[in-house]
Amino acid sequence: MKDFVYSERLRKLPPYLFAEIDKAKRKAKEEGRDIIDLGIGDPDLATPAHIIDALHKAAVDSSNHHYALDAGMPQLRQAVSSWYNKRFKVELDPESEILPLIGSKEGIAHFPLAFIDPGDYALVPDPCYPPYKNGTTFAGGIPYIMPLREENGFLPDLSAVDKSVLQKAKVIFVNYPNNPTGAVADADFYKKIIDFASKYGLIVCSDAAYSEVCFDGYRPMSILELDGARDVAIEFHSLSKTYNMTGWRIGWACGNRKAVAGLAKVKSNVDSGIFQAIQLAGVAALDGPQNALEKANSIYSERRDVLVDGLNSIGWKVKKPKATFYVWAKTLKDYDSSAMAAALLEKTDIIATPGVGLGQNGEGYIRMAVTVDKDRIAAAVSRIERAFFGR
């Protein structure tokens, strides 16, 4: 039998980090171990009941049992427009500035296909959500790494980008609130990004998947709130974290008309849209009561405090994030990030994400997600104290 050979573009990709973490978790569970999973950022809270009710009602309606419109249902695009106006005071044209997605991951991964030719560069923060790099690679482009360093608030240093790279760069990715670091960005940063993109002819891809997961009175902004943003930027949102809908696969892109149209053209050739019942559930999420989000943020905030305060109390110095449900922690002495994650699993039955798996500049850190009950988080702190601090 002939041995099939993977394409060069597939061979360039590393194993997908979270698939590998899930594999390690399954193996440990098969061994009967009591695993506390702080690895993948998947909310454990239930999707609000009114959204589930809307799905059920739409799912039994046979008019929804056919191919969805590629551009998404008008009701969903209007709901996104209304939500954006309420949340950010930004008016978006539902016809030309909004495109529903099968989850924001899908849109981010497909976006480079619309604007990057082989040999072009995309400026990519590091550490980062893997599809920024992988989507660029699939398009034949070259990810150019912009290190995110703690001393710079985990913001990229735009002045350090190689000027020769900028001659062939087409896209710059930014992500705030940031996965994995939990860092946030302000208007001054976004103004610099807009000016930078305008100067060098770049499209800004702003990943705002965590814009609604925030604490202590902090409210993230959208890049599209600023003058000139719509000339250069497309923003990606997701219902996954906002409404505990990770498995539903629904999000959207919005902003610059040409950027939205380019992504729409790619998608019209590779998918047939989102199941209409899920789109109508998305309408219910965006138009309906938002109290479930406030409750979720209160729960995540409490869990964050249990983890961060607990780790600090035993001697592992960790900073408290203003947003996302991630805690980005420096590894303990004598451990690199892979060894730290391996030791946590081996010694404490805790799953955490090694920083280096999210990029070379994530070395020296691990990411922990507060997506388990606070009692389990407290138990995790106790296990870490016994295993690593000898108490």
254 and 385 part of one domain: no
Nearest CA to 236 out of 218, 272, 211 is that of 211
122 and 156 part of one domain: yes
160 and 103 part of one domain: yes
239 and 99 part of one domain: yes
Asked whether residue 237 is assigned to any structural domain, the reply reads: yes
Mind listing the pLDDT tens digit for each residue in 170-204?
A: 999 999 999 999 999 999 999 999 999 999 999 99
Mind listing the pLDDT tens digit for each residue in 307-355?
A: 999 999 999 999 999 999 999 999 999 899 999 999 999 999 999 999 9
The answer for residues whose C-beta is within 8 angstroms of residue 320's C-beta and 6 or more apart is 304, 305, 308
248 and 194 part of one domain: yes
Q: CATH no. for residue 312?
A: 3.90.1150.10
Q: For the CA atoms of 342, 348, 351, 352, what is the dihedral angle to 10 degrees?
A: -70
Distance CA 390, CA 213 (A): 35
pLDDT of res. 28: 77
179 and 212 part of one domain: yes
231 and 322 part of one domain: no
Phi, psi torsion values for 315, nearest 5 degrees: 110, 0
Distance CA 101, CA 246 (A): 13
358 and 261 part of one domain: no
Q: Please, which pLDDT band fits residue 31 given cuts at 50, 70 and 90?
A: confident
Q: Please, which pLDDT band fits residue 16 given cuts at 50, 70 and 90?
A: low
Distance CA 214, CA 15 (A): 31
- Domain final residue pick, 287, 309, 331: 287
139 and 35 part of one domain: no
Give me Rg for the CA atoms of the chain.
21
Pull the structure tokens for residue 192: 């610099």
214 and 300 part of one domain: no
Q: CATH no. for residue 127?
A: 3.40.640.10
pLDDT of res. 225: 98
35 and 163 part of one domain: no
Residue 272's domain spans which residues? Answer: 49-287
Asked whether residue 2 is assigned to any structural domain, the reply reads: no
DSSP single-letter state for residue 360: G
Domains contained in the chain, number: 2
Asked whether residue 3 is assigned to any structural domain, the reply reads: no
The amino acid present at 303, given as its one-letter code, is: R
The amino acid present at 97, given as its one-letter code, is: E
- Domain final residue pick, 254, 287, 320: 287
- Domain final residue pick, 233, 261, 287: 287
90 and 53 part of one domain: yes
